[in-house]
Every structure is written in structure tokens, then in C-alpha cells.
Structure 1
């Protein structure tokens, strides 16, 4: 079960949505030192204490993040920052 779940509507093409997802993921990788890997339309990410997936659907992006015990204290701040970034990049249609 995800500790953070964010759904972001978009009207981007598949390529546009994938580019937006990559932008969100690269920001997360920089901010949280994560490893990234695409598996079809799902971008998997992981580091010690944090893992999850960004799934691209036709008109929606779904981000699910699982936090380790120590990271749960920062859940609200992480969710706020990532949700704002997703809104910015996926709204850029």
C-alpha cells in the first residue's frame, strides 16, 4: 500500500506525458538520490527508505510512493513538493 498517492489529470500525448513523467522523475532523483527505470508506461524508482512507481495512463498520471519508517515523518512535505511538480509539468499542454 502506498503512503503517498497522487493522481494528476493531463491532456498530453503519450510522448508528452512520458516527457513530463521523466521530468518529475529526474527532479525526484536529484532531490532524493533515487535510481530510475522505465518498464513500459511505468517509471519505477527506488532508494533506501523510498520506492514507488509513476504510471502513465491515457489521461492521467498516477504516482504511488512507499516510505520506510524513518521517511514517514517527511510524508507531508514530500507529497506537497511532488504534487506541485506534477501539476506544473502535466498541466503544460
Structure 2
């Protein structure tokens, strides 16, 4: 099983950071057809072969995902898209 583990710093107030995370989630939904939902300050996302979360922390984000066998073949493009969108939004 492959993993994605990204930490990304930000200086946004919590409400703006949460809104930006929601924009990231929309991009993930469009590109990878994941289901998303908030649990406190953590946005969980999943679909067959992908299970992860984006934790909204003070001064940063933590993106973590476990990729199943087939999704692991696409780890690099998935990780690159997440990083690109984080740079764009934060």
C-alpha cells in the first residue's frame, strides 16, 4: 500500500483556510471522483482504492492518504495535483 503524506504551511485565518480546503476538496472530487466530508477540522475523502484526510491545523495543513494497489500506480499525478492546488489556494 502506497501513502501520500504532505505538510503545507499557511498563514490564513481558520475560516479562510477552511474555505480554501473546501476548494481543494472540489478539485479532488472533479479530478479523482472522491467523496468528501468534514469531521471537525478534518476533511475526510475516499473512494475505492483511496482513503485519506486533510487536517486543518494552526498554521498548516496535513494531507494524508492511503492508496490501494491500482491507485498507487497514479500516486505521482495524484500527489502533484494536490501540491499544485495547495500552492494555488494557500
**TM, length-normalised to structure 1:** 0.92
Distance 1:16 1:63 in 2: 17
SS state of the match for residue 43, structure 1?
strand
Distance 1:65 1:20 in 2: 19
**Contact persistence 2:56–2:62 (CA under 8 A):** yes
- Paired position in structure 2 for 1:18: 18
Alignment of 1:28-47 (within 5 A): 28-47=28-47
Q: Runs of 5+ in structure 1 lacking a partner?
A: none
**Contact persistence 1:50–1:67 (CA under 8 A):** yes
Post-superposition shift, 1:2? Answer: 6.7
Q: How many residues align?
A: 90
- Paired position in structure 2 for 1:6: 6
> Where has structure 1 moved over 3 Å in runs of 4 or more?
none
Q: Runs of 5+ in structure 2 lacking a partner?
A: none
- Paired position in structure 2 for 1:80: 80
Q: Over aligned residues, Cα RMSD in angstroms?
A: 1.3
